[in-house]
Amino acid sequence: MDIVITLKRPEGNHRSSMREVQAIGRFDGIPEQLFIELTLEGYVSKGTNAAVEREEAYLRIYHALPSTIEEALDLEDLLAKAPGVKRTTAQNALTQLEKDEIANQVGKGVKNDPKRYYRVKELGDSFCRMPASVEAAERSSGDSSGSHSAATHPHPADGNGAQA
C-alpha cells in the first residue's frame, strides 16, 4: 500500500460540514493534514487547522461588527460577541478586515478614545473567498506549509494560510 488516507470529523469547534483528511505514504508532497468543507459545489480545501481557525475568527469578528459608525465596538465588546476567538487572533482578523476594506476603525486607541470597529461593506455571496490582496500576499510570501487550496480559501490574518 502506498498511501493511507483517513477522513474524519475534526476535533474542536468546527462547522458540521468540515472534515479532516490525514494521509501518510511513501510519496513526497502528501500533506499530513488537510481540512476540507462540503459546499454546494462539492468539497473545497480549507488548508491547515491554523488556516481554518483564522477563517473562523475572520467570519466571527465580521458578523460581530456593527454596520454603523455610531454603533462601533471596541475589541473587548467584539470578543464578547465572538466567543471562542482569542484576542490576538481577533486583532489579526480586524487588521485583515481593514486591509480588505470591509471594516473601518474610529478612535485613537488612547484613554477615553479607544479604537472601535464597524463594518463598511458586506461580504456577500463570496463570504469565504480570499480577497485578491491576501492571495497576492501569500504568493509573495512563499508559504511552504505544504497545504493546498481550491477556489475557496481561509483568511490568513497572520500570513500563514494555504497557498493558491
Question: What tens digit of pLDDT does each residue of 89-133 get?
Answer: 999 999 999 999 999 999 998 999 999 999 998 886 555 444 433
Long-range contacts from 23-26, C-beta under 8 angstroms, 24+ separation: 26/2
Distance CA 56, CA 106 (A): 24
Does residue 21 contact residue 147 with C-beta atoms inside 8 Å? no
Does residue 115 contact residue 74 with C-beta atoms inside 8 Å? yes
Other beta carbons less than 10 A from residue 154's beta carbon: 28
Question: What tens digit of pLDDT does each residue of 36-61 get?
Answer: 999 999 999 999 888 888 888 999 99
List of domains in the chain: 52-126 (1.10.10.10)
pLDDT at residue 1, rounded to an integer: 65
- Strands annotated E in the chain: 3-8, 18-25, 33-39, 42-47, 103-106, 116-119
Torsion over CA: 155, 157, 161, 164 (sign): positive
What is the model's pTM?
0.64
What cell does 132 get? 485578491
pLDDT at residue 147, rounded to an integer: 36
pLDDT at residue 127, rounded to an integer: 52
b vs e for 56-80, b when ≥16 Cβ sit within 10 Å of the residue's Cβ? bbbbbbbebbbeeeeebbebeebbe
Higher-pLDDT residue of 64 and 13 is: 64
Q: What is the mean pLDDT of residues 129-138?
A: 39
